[in-house]
Homo-oligomer: A and B are copies of this chain.
Amino acid sequence: MRESESGGRRPYHHGDLHRALVDAARALLEAEGPGALSMRAVARGAGVSPAAPYHHFKDKDELMGAVAHEGWLMLDAALARARDEAPAGRGRITALGVAYVCFAIDHPALYRVMYDHARDQESLPDQLHEPEQGAFATVRRTLVEVGGDPDARIELELATAAAWCAAHGLAEMAGFKQFDHLKDALGGEKPFLRAVFDQMGLFPRMSGR
C-alpha cells in the first residue's frame, strides 16, 4: 500500500488518496470558501474521478468530518501555544479567548466547517478532551491557575463551558459589521476582543474561590 524502498514508484494511482482528498478539500476551502466544497470539486482537485472518494469516505459528511478533525487539531495547538506564550496570571484566560477568536478569524471557512459538523453531530469532537493537548484540558488548567478550585469538578466544568461558549459566540460575531464602531473606539480588533472578554469575565466564580 506504500512504497517500502527508497525510489519506489508510486504503488497505485495516488498511494494515499485519503490524504490527497483531505488536502484538496482544505485547499479548496481556503481558496474558494465553504460553498465551493463539493465532493466532485475535491475529487477534481485531487486529479481523480468523482466516484473515487467514495472508496475512502462513506459520504461527504465523513470527508467534512476529516477536514474538521484537522481544524480541531489546529485549534488545540493554537490554544496550547497561546497558553505557553502568555505570562501567568489573570490575563491568561483572556489570552486563550483571544487566541480562540483569532483562530476563527484567520480560518473562517475551516471554522465554519468545524462547527457545521459539530452541530450535525450535536457534539464537539472527543479529541478536545485529550488530557494533554486537548483544548478543554488547556482551558481547565488555565482556569485552575487563575483561581479555580481543582477539586470542585462541577464548578470547574461550568466555568470551562461558559468560557468556551463565550469564545464561540464572539468568534462567530466578531466579524459582524455591528461591532465595527466598537473596534474603532477601542483601538482595533484585539483590544475589542479583550474588552468583550473582560466584560464577560471568564474567571471562575466558585463557591470557595
Contact = CB atoms under 8 A, between A and B. Distances in A.
Given A124-B178, A165-B170, A205 B201 contact: yes
Interface stretch (A20-28, A49-57, A82-90, A192-200): A192-200
A177 B181 CA distance: 37
Nearest to A153: B185
A182 B157 contact: yes
Given A118-B176, A119-B112, A177-B122, A182 B158 contact: yes
The winner among A115, A158, A161, A186 for most chain B CB atoms within 10 A is A161
Interface residues of A, number: 40
Secondary structure dominating the interface of A: helix
Interface in A164-209: 164-170, 172-173, 175-179, 181-182, 185-186, 195-196, 198-202, 204-205
A182 B159 contact: no
Contacts of A196: 158, 161-162, 165
Contacts of A202: 200
